[in-house]
Amino acid sequence: MAKGRRKGRKWIKKAVHKRGALHRHYRLPLRAKIPLRLLVRDRHKKGKLGQRVRFALGRRGYYKRHGR
């Protein structure tokens, strides 16, 4: 494997440390889907909230479809 590449395919599992953090922030039940408008609104926030929102949008495929 080339140097600098991620080892294995379980990097996402390691990236998610606090499951449900966005649901708690938005005061939604854990199994509810977070509305896209909330994520798009907060994608430019600083700190951990912004990081979590951008990660969630990336996992949804938002950037692939919208080119942003």
Burial class (CB in 10 A: 0-12, 13-18, 19+), 40: middle
Q: Global pTM?
A: 0.74
pLDDT in tens, 14-39: 777 888 999 999 999 999 999 999 99
pLDDT in tens, 42-58: 999 999 999 999 999 98
Alpha helices in the chain (DSSP H): 11-15, 21-26, 36-42, 47-60, 62-66
Token representation of residue 67? 């080119």
